[in-house]
């Protein structure tokens, strides 16, 4: 069992920056999981924002809408994953969820409770 807790959400102006953190806990080493961030805006389906590979995180994938603006990283020793959000836009407004996907899974096995990000002037 893995428990995920997000933090760092809030209100930010367009063009601003925000850093989301995901704190994992549990008996399974965090490094075995592919870590990711998803988001869900009102009236829309949950969508993948970014994923970082298990282990050293040598590979990351991003949604086209955030490429060049968001950066996903991980610190396995601290059981954390970070989403650095730069040049945010109003369309980035959503609840952001941290996820952990096991090596044999095609979908996340664990989810955080979500953190609200609102981009508005």
pLDDT in tens, 61-85: 999 999 999 999 999 999 999 999 9
pLDDT confidence of residue 120? 97
Mean pLDDT value across residues 90-104: 97
Return mean pLDDT, the chain: 97
Mean pLDDT value across residues 4-33: 97
Q: Contact 39/53 with Cβ under 8 angstroms?
A: no
Q: How confident is the model at residue 1 (pLDDT cuts 50, 70, 90)?
A: confident
Residue 37, beta-bridge partner list: 50, 98
Q: How confident is the model at residue 51 (pLDDT cuts 50, 70, 90)?
A: very high
């Amino acid at each position: 069992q893995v428990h995920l807790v997000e933090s760092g959400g809030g209100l930010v102006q367009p063009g601003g920056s925000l850093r989301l953190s995901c704190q994992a806990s549990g008996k399974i080493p965090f490094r075995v999981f592919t870590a990711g961030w998803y988001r869900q805006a009102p009236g829309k389906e949950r969508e993948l924002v970014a994923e970082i590979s298990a282990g050293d995180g040598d590979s990351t994938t991003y949604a086209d809408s955030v490429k060049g603006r968001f950066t996903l990283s991980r610190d396995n020793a601290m059981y954390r994953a970070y989403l650095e959000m730069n040049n945010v836009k109003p369309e980035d407004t959503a609840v952001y969820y941290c996820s952990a996907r096991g090596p044999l899974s095609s979908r996340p096995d664990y989810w955080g409770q979500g953190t609200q990000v609102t981009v508005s002037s």
